Amino acid sequence: MINNYLYTIGKYISPTQRGDVLEEIKANLYGFLEENFGKKEYTDSEIEMAIRSMGHPKKVAEAYMEGPRCLIGPAYIDTYWLVLKIALIGIAIGLTIANMITLPDSKDGIQFFIKVIASIWQSSLSAIGTVTLIFVLIQHYSPGEQETITGDWSLKVIENAPEAHQKIKFLDIILESIFICFFLVAINQATPALVIALRENEVIPVLNMELFKPFLIWINFAIVSNLILNLYLLIKKQWQSITRIISIAIDIIGVGIFAKLIMTPGFWNFSAIDSVLKDESIVLSTVLDLSLNITLAVVIIIVAFDIFGHLRVLLKTRSK
């Protein structure tokens, strides 16, 4: 119960303060127990008395907070800044690469630089507004934020600390989210310019845009769904059965879309390359086709391992 109480308090405290603050609260709890009941194995009722002597988790956290936070509450402010950084980094990388692809022959470096900065600035403002609005709505409709704290508070507000299999890998989710933001920008900004340069002034468009456009909405759906899931995980700071099921569904949809893109006849215009390289000994289109198939196989294997990991945890949790 003490670990769950400390975990609940920690949700309202910034990471920079959390470790020291929780250690101090833990010491105070055990000090209360030892002073009132001596050194022994404490019963649930004794631990409950110690917890009530400390107070509501949110009130305890507020006593240690360095300053007030208004627009976005303490439970979400650190995740808000983290998500905002992820979005801005992903947008900056994605738009820079997208502009480099769409303007490969640009001779005016200053004009290119201004175009990149302008596009990043415009998209960043939209991202800041969107992310801020999402977190304001999350706080406004969150039961924990709306709760009125009274003297006779319920222990039901104490959340269970996540077990080992529920903990998320923050670094993995952060890096994945940055890549998702970059890919989201790139696939919508730079896809029309997907070409292969074979010789000087001789390029071949390798993507059939007429076939690609109907897929774009589904690609964006899968990407945005994954990004929303990552955002939810960063806020909740743990895996749940429903989020694992959603992750499996997103993985299956993503692989299905990717497989369809690879296997749709005429989607990739590699055959035109051979006519340009008819004097060459290497059949480049065959190499590229093989590379796509190998990429698909690797993606399927990686996703299969990810799905297997989720299913193993779900089955283990269900058997308890």
Average the pLDDT over 158-178 and give the result. Answer: 77
Q: Flag whether pLDDT at 198 surpasses 80.
A: no
- Indicate if 92 and 234 belong to the same structural domain: yes
Q: Flag whether pLDDT at 248 surpasses 90.
A: yes
User: Given pLDDT bands bounded at 50, 70 and 90, which one contains residue 199?
Assistant: very low
Residue 262: C-alpha distances to residues 78, 187, 195, 288 (Å): 40, 16, 17, 11
Distance CA 125, CA 51 (A): 44
Q: Flag whether pLDDT at 196 surpasses 60.
A: no
The residue among 24 and 107 whose pLDDT is bigger is 24
Q: What is the pLDDT of residue 205?
A: 64
User: Given pLDDT bands bounded at 50, 70 and 90, which one contains residue 34?
Assistant: confident
- Indicate if 89 and 207 belong to the same structural domain: yes
Q: For the segment 265-279, what is each residue's pLDDT rounded down to a tens digit?
A: 777 766 666 565 555
Instruction: Give the range with max mean pLDDT: 132-141, 178-187, 230-239.
Output: 230-239
Q: What percent of the chain has pLDDT over 70?
A: 73
- Indicate if 34 and 183 belong to the same structural domain: no
The residue among 221 and 199 whose pLDDT is bigger is 221
Q: What is the pLDDT of residue 195?
A: 47
The answer to which of 135-139, 226-230, 247-251 has the lowest mean pLDDT is: 135-139
Average the pLDDT over 83-91 and give the result. Answer: 80
Q: What percent of the chain has pLDDT over 90?
A: 7
Q: Are 11 and 159 in contact (CB under 8 A)?
A: yes
- Indicate if 77 and 215 belong to the same structural domain: yes
Q: Flag whether pLDDT at 281 surpasses 50.
A: no
- Indicate if 246 and 112 belong to the same structural domain: yes
Last residue of a domain, one of 51, 67, 83: 67
Structural domain harbouring 30: 1-67
Tally of domains within the chain? 2
- Indicate if 40 and 82 belong to the same structural domain: no
Q: What is the pLDDT of residue 114?
A: 78
**Structural tokens at position 254:** 């993503």
Q: Flag whether pLDDT at 146 surpasses 50.
A: no
Q: For the segment 101-112, what is each residue's pLDDT rounded down to a tens digit?
A: 555 555 566 776
- Indicate if 107 and 40 belong to the same structural domain: no
Among candidate residues 88, 59, 84, 54, the one with its CA nearest the CA of residue 74: 59
- Indicate if 213 and 306 belong to the same structural domain: yes
Last residue of a domain, one of 52, 67, 82: 67
208 CB-contact burial (10 Å; exposed 0-12 / middle 13-18 / buried 19+) = middle
Q: Flag whether pLDDT at 190 surpasses 70.
A: no
Q: Flag whether pLDDT at 287 surpasses 90.
A: no
Q: For the segment 111-131, what is each residue's pLDDT rounded down to a tens digit?
A: 767 777 887 888 888 878 877
Q: What is the pLDDT of residue 39?
A: 82
Kindly report the pTM of this predicted structure: 0.62
Q: What is the pLDDT of residue 204?
A: 58
From the CB of residue 166, how many other CB atoms can be counted at a distance below 10 Å? 18
Q: Report the residue count for the chain.
A: 320
- Indicate if 133 and 72 belong to the same structural domain: yes
Q: Flag whether pLDDT at 280 surpasses 90.
A: no
